[in-house]
Amino acid sequence: MRHPWFIRAAQRMNSISFATQVLQFIVTGLTVGAIYAMVAIGFNIIYNVTEIINLAQGEFVMLGGLVMVFMHVSVGLPLVPAFLSTIFLVMLVGIVMDRLGIRTIRKPSVMTLIIATVAVSIIIKGVAMLLWGKSPYDLPAFSGRTPIQLGGVVVQPQYLWVIGFLIVVAVGLTYFFNRTILGKAMRACADNPSAARLVGIDVEKMVLLSFALSAAIGAVAGMTMTPIALMDYDRGAMLAIKGFGAAILGGLGSFPGAILGGLLIGLIESLGAGLLLSGYKDAYALIILLAVLFVRPSGILGNLQVTKFKRF
Amino acid sequence: MMGKKVAAVLLACLLVGGFAISPASAAYKIGALFSVTGGASFLGDPEKKTAEMVVEQINKAGGINGEKIELVVYDDEGDATKCNLFAKKLINQDKVVAVIGPSVSGLSLAVVPVFEKSRTPLISCAASYKIVLNEKSGKPYPWIFKTAQSDSHAVEAIYTQMQKMGISKIAILTVTDGFGASGRQELLRLADQYKIAIVGDEKYDPKDTDMTAQLTKIKGIAPQAIINWSVGPTQVTVMRNWRDLGMQKMVFFQSHGFANRKNIELAAGAAEGVYCPLGACNVAEVLPDDHPQKKVTMDYMQSYMAKYNEPLSSFGGYAWDALYLVADALKAVGPDKAKIRDYLENRKNFIGQHGVFNFSPDDHNGLSKDAFQMVIVKDGDWVLAE
């Protein structure tokens, strides 16, 4: 049944225009993508120094969210101290993971170490389940929940926090790896551990640092996403998969690649869900990922020359 | 020669007899399969707690016909393989008279053949109507019952409410797991009967972080109402997105999976004005005093909250209904699997947490859409809808 023209016009007034819709998809996609990008950066830091794919990366994100809920909501610390203490605690988990789970393994090969990270992720998840139970937790948004209207496009203030923290992390890491002695030492370990050791770099300390750093970035991702999506103990694996996909898409080991990959996957999911069938949105991202790998096996910004030297 | 034969026969008799006698020595043993951990833990956890509480209550009151009951609970972790193994263990090793659970539709469907083959009554706590309907014969599986309302009951309750409100053009949002897929199927199937046009049909993943894209698309179509069909954190996120996008003109309906006060809390205000169909046990306090379920639901709510110090969710009620049905049958016919089955099949007017059950050979769920109360969220609490 077709309504008369004036009803249709009224309906159109009530609804939103196609351009606004697309803009809304992009805003949402960038936000979700920024979370994936932060997870992907975490993968890259550890991969660059140790060649391990740390499959517990998603667990750092989950812990970040839940510890923040504990600090901010249960203990009642103000936002900034809660934020900093959460980063500190999750970093500690990363350090303990390296000390107990990674370094103690005899005759380590890259593969056994990756399997060890799977074990660690299961342990972290189990402990989180015991501590927090199985129900999801909410965190108050950092600066209120009143959405910002930008000509029909709705932006939650928390979206800006997520994207803002991605920028902070990206700028901070660029500075750290290019301008500081410590960062350069970590890069040296990545390029050639034996040579790094010969010039007096403590490789084991650098590995430890890489775990601490990626745990911290995971925690930031978790804390910023919890006000949007809630957090429960079971969330880590999905985030790890999405973040890993982003890292591969951008080129494993490349930081600009991780950001590009994360944002791309977020955008594809959001636009795919909005414009095409929403049931297949994960498939769209994976199809693009496969297509890119057919053309460029090293990912968009990855360097094939470099990956040939890697053991994994 | 003769003596040897007699001895062999005697030995055989002894062995067979011995095996036959051993299970009868135990108290009344009831099995339970719940997804206490894993993705469906929000179902299994309250179910296990409820079942343990009910057993304690029954035993404290002197048991059934003087016999204590013993509950054997296994956690299937939401894994079909484990669920299957535990089902066989309950039947063959623990020799239970009946089993309650599993918590999830998929797992219930997976173990139906095990119980049919071993001729053991199973009372599932999951929603899908397929659990109790053999689609080939169009009749219920003889040994399988369930206490959770079917998705179709929830859909009918929602559509009836929509008709009352004059809503005819809707969009649906479903999660891509068993619960969402089954709900979506029923929503599409029953829409014509209630003269409702589904103009938007969107989906999302159970672990998604944001549903703004799907809702923005729906906003473009401008339906009168939105029905969301999911459980877990996503059903809260989707509601917040709905509020943030300023879509309050489109009435928001949640499925019966919304049945936990914690969800209202988590929504941080976004749940105001949201409709959902709920079992009586969720709204015990607001039921009128002459409601048939008022007493059992109030009792359950008070004892559960006193024991576990957490708000009641509707899922524990499924286990309450299942366990009390078994206890009721045991009281009437004793620990005989076939008699329990026959008794359950003809049980009428059983007042439970989720409705008044009237089982029959054609209906092993025993409920209708009246098992749901339509409620609306007002000032952070449920209120019965007009």
Which residues in chain A are contacts of B244 at CB distance < 8 A? 145, 147, 154, 156
Q: What is the pLDDT of residue B18?
A: 46
Is 80 exceeded by the pLDDT of residue B291? yes
Interface-testing mutation among A20, A28, A30, A122, with chain B (most B C-beta atoms within 10 A): A28
The stretches of A180-254 forming alpha helices (DSSP H) are: 181-191, 193-198, 203-229, 236-250
How many helices, marked H, and strands, marked E, lie in chain A? 13, 2
Measured between CB atoms, which of A24, A238, A273 is closest to B207?
A238
Torsion of CA A25, A26, A32, A37, to 10 degrees: 160
Average pLDDT estimate for B160-180: 89
Nearest CA in chain B to A278: B203
Cβ-defined contact of B244 to A274 (cutoff 8 Å)? no
For residue A74, count other CB atoms closer than 10 A to its CB.
Answer: 10
Contact A95, A212 (CB under 8 A): yes
Give me the interface pTM, i.e. the ipTM. 0.79
Q: Which of A1-5, A122-126, A155-159, B60-64 is predicted least confidently? A: A1-5
Average pLDDT estimate for B112-130: 91
- C-alpha angle with apex A245: A240 to A250, nearest 5 degrees? 125
Gap between the Cα atoms of A41 and A35, Å rounded: 10
Which residues in chain B are contacts of A156 at CB distance < 8 A? 244
**Domains of chain B with CATH codes:** 27-150+296-369 (3.40.50.2300), 152-286+372-384 (3.40.50.2300)
Which residues in chain A are contacts of B176 at CB distance < 8 A? 279
Q: What is the pLDDT of residue A143?
A: 86
Give the pTM. 0.78
The CB-side HSE value for B194 (13 A sphere, CA atoms) comes to 26
Cβ-defined contact of A15 to B212 (cutoff 8 Å)? no
Name B34's Cβ contacts closer than 8 Å, sequence gap at least 6. Answer: B43, B44, B45, B47, B48, B51, B73, B74, B75, B76, B101, B102, B103, B125, B319
Instruction: Give just the sign of the alpha carbon dihedral A265, A270, A271, A276.
Output: positive
Is 90 exceeded by the pLDDT of residue B106? no
| Confidence class for position B252, pLDDT limits 50, 70, 90 | very high
Residue B230: closest CA among B266, B263, B265, B197: B263
Coil/strand/helix, residue B363 = strand
Give the length of chain A. Answer: 312
Q: What is the pLDDT of residue B20?
A: 45
Long-range contacts of A114-120 (CB under 8 A, 24+ apart): A114/A52, A114/A53, A114/A55, A114/A312, A117/A52, A117/A53, A117/A54, A117/A55, A117/A56, A118/A55, A118/A56, A120/A56, A120/A59
What distance, in Å, lies between the first and last C-alpha atoms of chain B?
Answer: 85
| Confidence class for position B246, pLDDT limits 50, 70, 90 | confident
Which residues in chain B are contacts of A231 at CB distance < 8 A? 233
Structure tokens at A99: 């000390």
| Confidence class for position A1, pLDDT limits 50, 70, 90 | very low
Q: What is the pLDDT of residue B133?
A: 87
Average of per-residue pLDDT values in chain A: 86
Q: What is the pLDDT of residue B221?
A: 86
Which residues in chain A are contacts of B216 at CB distance < 8 A? 16, 21, 24-25, 28, 274
Measured between CB atoms, which of A228, A273, A274 is closest to B209?
A228
Name A206's Cβ contacts closer than 8 Å, sequence gap at least 6. Answer: A49, A185, A186, A189, A196
The pLDDT tens digits for B318-363 are: 999 999 999 999 999 988 999 999 999 999 999 999 989 999 999 9
Q: DSSP per residue over A31-67, as a string?
A: HHHHHHHHHHHHHHHHHHHH----TTHHHHHHHHHHH
Gap between the Cα atoms of A28 and A269, Å rounded: 10
Q: What is the pLDDT of residue B101?
A: 86
Q: What is the pLDDT of residue A20?
A: 83
Q: By percentage, how much of chain A surpasses pLDDT 70?
A: 92
Cβ-defined contact of B219 to A21 (cutoff 8 Å)? yes
Gap between the Cα atoms of A182 and A177, Å rounded: 8
Cβ-defined contact of B202 to A273 (cutoff 8 Å)? yes
Give the β-pairing of B28-34 and B98-100: parallel
Contact B241, A159 (CB under 8 A): no
Which residues in chain A are contacts of B220 at CB distance < 8 A? 15-16, 18, 21
Amino acid at B334: G
Which residues in chain A are contacts of B78 at CB distance < 8 A? none
Measured between CB atoms, which of A15, A137, A273 is closest to B213?
A273
The pLDDT tens digits for A124-148 are: 999 998 898 878 898 888 888 888 8
- C-alpha angle with apex B123: B120 to B126, nearest 5 degrees? 135
Q: What is the pLDDT of residue A6?
A: 47
Structure tokens at A115: 């399997």
Measured between CB atoms, which of A14, A138, A274 is closest to B266?
A138
Residue B53: closest CA among B243, B277, B308: B308
Phi and psi at residue B18, in whole multiples of 5°?
-55, -45
The pLDDT tens digits for A191-242 are: 787 888 898 888 888 889 999 999 999 999 999 999 988 898 988 888 998 9
Interface-testing mutation among B34, B175, B210, B224, with chain A (most A C-beta atoms within 10 A): B210
Q: What is the pLDDT of residue B2?
A: 56
CA A15 to chain centre: 34
Contact B204, B241 (CB under 8 A): no
What distance, in Å, lies between the first and last C-alpha atoms of chain A?
Answer: 61
